Structure 1
Amino acid sequence: MHPTVELLLQRRAEVSRESWDALWDALRDRSLDRDDALALLGSLAGALPGPVSSAALLESFAGRRATGPERRPGTVNVVGTGGGPATFNISTAAAFTAAAIGVPVVKSGSRAYTGVLGSIDLLERLGIRPAGSYPQIEDSLDRFGLAFAGGFVYPAELTRLARLILPAGLRPFGRFLNTLGPFLAELPVTAQVTGVSDPAVLPLLRDLAATVPDRRIWLSTNDAGADELLPFAVNTVDTNSGTVPALPAPSGGTLADLRPGTGPAGAAARFLEVVAGSAGDVATRTVAFNAAALALAGGHATAWEPAVAEAGKALREGAVLALVMRMRTDG
């Protein structure tokens, strides 16, 4: 068994960057066998590495990448950790809405590990193709103010692992991938808003955010266990940079107002109803709240109330749905 995998399985010591590098070298050189890869992923799925090991993992991935994209000031990434109650794709709706009010957004995400549709699944249903390269991200930002990042933004080592464990898939290891996923993508942004559904992982993510010098990170949680801000819940936001304006007080609504629709087709239809502003007041306020978070985190707004109002107006007056339709036909 590879020594790094043994370290992870024993859980007695932190894993250094050098150990992670040795593991990825073995994966690249095809000296890591399938059983080791499955044991590695099983260990990561069973218990996340500690903060030192996780930070070393991110450093290892970063050190193996080619030069990343040039960051665009004021551009925001939105991505959640997954899990929590079933809702429509709030963060994807918020990405469209924020872009519709002038906030440049790059949305990263994945296929569904726990819900009906992940962001990539939803985009396929909508007929919107994620960007396959950094120039495509730049082009989409220039044309629409919004880009959806394809899998190329994630470490190549994850793709190699997925191939090595075939015919098994990555779904059983979704907890690890969802939790650390927001820190794995290399994107041309200067801010990031990440919802965290499981408060138990928040201390780890706070520690990781503190090691990130090149973008402002907001980590949001709430007492409903969702990985997005909810207008009817008690929300908190932690940041690695500056301060966060006081959050609005909870108002009316329940999780039932945010239902996702039945099956993949129903979930896609429900999403279109949401971005058309016709899914009810609570759904509209929820999307507007999250779009406002992108505006504030990116430095495009300074107060919640006017930002939420502007986003709500864009939903109700059709600007958000119009952007969705433009990206479906012109993307």
Structure 2
Amino acid sequence: MKDILEYLFSYNTLKKEEAKSIMLQIPRGVFNEYEITSFMSVFMMRSITIDELLGFTDALKETAIKVDLNTSDLVDIVGTGGDGKNTFNISTLACFVVAGTGQKVAKHGNIGASSVSGSSNVMQELGVKFTNDSEQLKKQLDQANICFLHAPLFHPSLKKVAPMRKQLGFRTFFNMLGPLANPANPDYSTIGVYNMEIARLYNYYLQKEKSHFSIVHSLDGYDEISLTGESIVIDEKGTQLLSPQEFKSNKIAEHDLYGGKTKEAAADLFLKILKGEGSSAQNEVVITNAAIALQNTHKYGDFEECRNLAKESLESGAALNCLNQLISA
């Protein structure tokens, strides 16, 4: 690792195979935690290249524990995290709203590394049991229309670096890898990113890997459609700049998206919103992100039709029922 670090500290970048080789060695214990931390820190000082992203992601997929859900007709809504906004768990809530419409969802998530509460934290607090057993995950999918894939159970590299990421407390390049490495390989991915540079890298990657995808970013820095201002939506057809009004919504304030100071508070708010007790602003942002994911499948009509489906899922209690079924499964 010393030679690798000296090479990188001299403003060099890694070729795809070099990046892949390093990532493959991390779960094998070849490097100690100080070396891995130094390696992660390099990519806080400069942007990751497309070759590095390809190499790291290929390694993550190659070493992943395989899962067979008997279908790839699945949606995932996931953000990179690392936007520093401490929002409530919008993407995860949107997944349950999508599941409440009848669309199957394979949610890939993790504990919060640079935030108070990641999707896995909330699921744990609410009583969801994590597993990497395909039969158990299929049971979740059958009963609840959604299964939850806790990333460290499928990706040895992520498990190895999780304590180091938490100690660092800021985003690292690992934030970029998880959304691209869902072990269920869903047909439809909606991914939120924290800046436009990452959006361009993802667009390059997903154009090669996916038939249907959407990348979302709010121009004021959120890794989702925040409705606090204009948002970028990128899909296989191109790029759009959209206002809250074009999402059939009003502009909302940043404080409406606050997620709380503890994992317990985040879980309480999550459940409150699913029970229909959230504010109109909270409901709007969840419905909007769910609608984009439904539209991305090209199965449910235009955005307005998808928005109506998402709204019905939340307001009828169908989304809440999916959570209850997932817990009991």
Q: Provide, for residues 266-306 of structure 1, a one-character-per-residue CA deviation record: whole Å limited to 9, x for no partner.
A: 22211111112221222112111111112111233121112
Counterpart-to-counterpart distance in 2, 1:40 and 1:188: 28
Look up the SS of the partner of 1:185 in the other structure. Answer: coil
Counterpart-to-counterpart distance in 2, 1:152 and 1:115: 17
Counterpart-to-counterpart distance in 1, 2:248 and 2:2: 51
Distance change in 2, residues 1:248/1:26 (3 Å): closer
Shift of 1:67: 5.7
1:1-331 to 2 correspondences below 5 Å: 1-17=1-17, 19-24=18-23, 26-27=25-26, 30-65=29-64, 69=68, 72-82=71-81, 83-152=83-152, 154-161=154-161, 168=164, 170-172=166-168, 174-213=171-210, 216-239=212-235, 241-242=236-237, 248=247, 251-328=250-327, 330-331=328-329
Distance change in 2, residues 1:33/1:232 (3 Å): closer
Look up the SS of the partner of 2:213 in the other structure. Answer: strand
Counterpart-to-counterpart distance in 1, 2:317 and 2:298: 25
Look up the SS of the partner of 1:205 in the other structure. Answer: helix
Q: Provide, for residues 206-229 of structure 1, a one-character-per-residue CA deviation record: whole Å limited to 9, x for no partner.
A: 22223324x522110122322122
Look up the SS of the partner of 1:211 in the other structure. Answer: helix
Q: Is contact 1:103-1:300 (8 Å) kept?
A: no
Q: Output the TM-score relative to the length of structure 1.
A: 0.85
Shift of 1:120: 0.6
Distance change in 2, residues 1:180/1:46 (3 Å): farther
Q: Provide, for residues 75-124 of structure 1, a one-character-per-residue CA deviation record: whole Å limited to 9, x for no partner.
A: 11111011242321111111111100111111112111233211111111
Q: Is contact 2:145-2:322 (8 Å) kept?
A: no
Unaligned runs of 5+ in 1: none
Tell me the amino acid that sits aligned with residue 268 of structure 1. Answer: A
Tell me the amino acid that sits aligned with residue 203 of structure 1. Answer: R
Tell me the amino acid that sits aligned with residue 193 of structure 2. Answer: V
Find runs of 4+ consecutive structure 1 residues off by over 6 angstroms.
none
Distance change in 2, residues 1:28/1:195 (3 Å): closer
Distance change in 2, residues 1:101/1:70 (3 Å): closer
Tell me the amino acid that sits aligned with residue 7 of structure 2. Answer: L
Q: Is contact 2:20-2:55 (8 Å) kept?
A: no
Q: Output the TM-score relative to the length of structure 2.
A: 0.86
Q: Provide, for residues 211-258 of structure 1, a one-character-per-residue CA deviation record: whole Å limited to 9, x for no partner.
A: 324x5221101223221223453222112x346898535524222222
Q: Is contact 1:71-1:187 (8 Å) kept?
A: no
Distance change in 2, residues 1:224/1:161 (3 Å): closer
Root-mean-square deviation (CA, aligned residues, Å) is: 2.8
Look up the SS of the partner of 2:234 in the other structure. Answer: strand
Q: Is contact 1:222-1:234 (8 Å) kept?
A: yes
Q: How many residues align?
A: 323
Unaligned runs of 5+ in 2: none
Tell me the amino acid that sits aligned with residue 191 of structure 1. Answer: Y
Shift of 1:307: 1.4
Counterpart-to-counterpart distance in 1, 2:25 and 2:265: 44
Look up the SS of the partner of 2:31 in the other structure. Answer: coil
